[in-house]
Amino acid sequence: MAWDIVTGGAGFIGSNLVDALLARGRRVRVIDNFSTGRRENLAEALAAAGDGRLEIVEGSVTDAALLRRCVTDVDTVYHQAALASVQRSVDDPARTNEHNIGGTLAVLLAARDGGARRVVYAASSSAYGDTPTLPKRETMPTDPLSPYALTKLAGEIYCRQFHQLYGLETVALRYFNVFGPRQNPASQYAAVIPLFISRMLRGEPPIIYGDGRQSRDFSYIDNVVEANLLAAAAPPAACGRVFNIACGVRVDLLAIVDLLNRRLGAGLRPVHEPPRRGDVRHSEADITAAREYLNYLPRVGFEDGLTRTLAWFQAQAAAASR
């Protein structure tokens, strides 16, 4: 059986994808430099792969020689590795460019030259920018507002060109605000839901940048993992294309605080800070194309996903206190 590669496989999304692939009997090779990925995220995978179905290669996707060695006897490359965060890219655009554009090009070259069947690329809804039209459709013009958004869009274009020029099968998935278990709240660039939960579990008020009326189409991790698996198995008509992956419903930040307060039996009022540069006001996805080409349908709604995520963080906090 050929291997599947998950770049960034020790990260939040990557490690959940690794678990799902192993559960389906696949052989998985993880490539991660552990700059943001965490070894503990692979504990379940290692336990599930006692028969040698999991390899962990420590290294960066910017290392072309390493990629050439890894992309041998490979079926699908799930390219999840990136330096995420809008704010991080504003602070350090050069490093974001190196990893997100240079790393993606290196992955595509290795996949092409190594004979991989397909590359599934983790794109981003940030490519749309702050256009007022909702919901966002893949046919809309793009207008990235940050270096991060620009680099993820460039990766999409590279995927399309590698399909057109070299015949490499590629599918790009525009993620909309993924959340769930294993998302790290400790980083200064952490996403909003783990930050809210971690602070509120400590009895601290959540911090909102802006008025809190900004809204997002939040995507629970199980939906995103399923989308990747569907993209890997989709018919050739899906190749060279990009698809929105979300639920098609937007929720504002004040509503999230209210939901968490109700589940925790708390009354914590958010602290408001000035809006951050590069942030988008509203985001909502049209998922018609993903339904048509990938047979994608989100199975976990936002409130159910928030309940599962909160339970995971509560269990982690309880384990840490023992």
Q: Is 80 exposed, middle or buried (0-12, 13-18, 19+ CB in 10 A)?
A: buried
Q: What is the pLDDT of residue 144?
A: 94
Closest CA to 168 of 69, 71, 65, 33: 71
Q: What is the pLDDT of residue 166?
A: 98
| Weakly modelled stretches of the chain, pLDDT under 50 | none
243: which DSSP letter?
Answer: E
Catalytic, 189? Answer: no
Walk me through the domains of the chain, giving residue ranges and CATH numbers. Answer: 3-179+221-247+284-299 (3.40.50.720)
Q: What is the pLDDT of residue 130?
A: 85
Please report where in the chains the tokens 């509503």 appear, as a residue: 255
Task: Please identify which of the residues 148, 175, 220, 293 carries the catalytic annotation.
Answer: 148
Closest CA to 247 of 272, 210, 284: 284
Query: 217: number of CA atoms within 13 Å, CB side?
Result: 24
User: 77: phi > 0 → left, psi -120 to 50 → alpha, else beta; which?
Assistant: beta
Rounded CA gap, 148 and 164, in Å?
25
The pTM assigned to this predicted structure is 0.95
Cβ proximity of 322 and 254 under 8 Å: no
Closest CA to 147 of 244, 278, 35, 274: 278
Q: What is the pLDDT of residue 188?
A: 59
